[in-house]
Amino acid sequence: MVSYLFIKKRMILDIFKIPVYTVQLSLNNEELIKFCYDTQKNDTGRMVSNRGGYQSNNLIGLNIPIQPLLNEINTHSSLFAKSLMFKNTNIMCSSIWFNINGHKDYNISHNHPHCLISGVYYAKSLNSCGLIEFNRNESSFEYDWHDSKMKDLNSYNCTSWRLPTTTNTLYLFPSWLKHGVLPNEHKNMDRISFAFNCN
């Protein structure tokens, strides 16, 4: 896929942009949180991107009280796909799981191959519970354009971009975009989030 632009004067072109969609939801977080803790008691979970804490197995297909969240994910994923000019904007959640991250727990940088849109919803979190960090995929960027060489950091020269993880926040982003979550620095609050993929 190639896009052409004829240039008539000196300028800086933003030739590649990375979209991150965000919206504040109004869900019954108490019910979601209770579901997460109850599931943790009865399921050993899995270790994938999480370092410490708990990550559930895939929840799709189970009779569980997260349908309102799934409805919101499907609605906003379709809106996001429409804004990205996807041919098919009927985007649906294909997998979803939750993370419970206590003090110092975190998620390493990773992406979600073979999906279109991925995202995360924070059912319980404060900024002190760890920011979500998006990373450039270019392997040599952080060596040649290191922060120490820059007077100020901006969207052109930074190697990562951090966003808040406050309760009720939903983020959607391309599944190929590398991302992780910083350690939870709050000693008395778990960070509880639902991560998901859409196709």
Tell me the per-residue pLDDT of 31-65, one tens digit each, with 9 for 90 and over: 999 999 999 999 999 999 899 999 999 998 776 78
Does 190 reside within a domain? yes
Does 118 reside within a domain? yes
Share of residues in the chain with pLDDT > 90 (%): 75
CATH of the domain at 64: 2.60.120.620
Of 81, 109, 86, 70, the C-alpha closest to 172 is: 81
**Residue 137 confidence class, pLDDT cut points 50, 70, 90:** confident
Does 16 reside within a domain? no
Does 51 reside within a domain? yes
Q: In Å, how far are 29, 36, 98, 170 from 124, measured between CA atoms?
A: 7, 11, 11, 12
Is residue 163 within 8 A of residue 99, CB to CB? The reply is: no
Residue 13 structure tokens: 């072109």
- How are strands ordered across the β-sheet holding 93-101? 21-24, 169-174, 117-124, 191-198, 93-101, 54-55
What domain range includes position 36?
A: 21-198
Does 73 reside within a domain? yes
Of 101, 123, 125, the C-alpha closest to 49 is: 101
Q: What's the pLDDT score for residue 1?
A: 67
What's the total number of domains in the chain?
1
Does 11 reside within a domain? no
Is pTM beyond 0.85? Reply is yes
Which residues have CB under 8 Å from 165's CB, separation 6+?
122, 125, 126, 127, 129, 130, 131, 132, 181, 191, 193
Does 15 reside within a domain? no
Does 2 reside within a domain? no
Q: What's the pLDDT score for residue 7?
A: 65
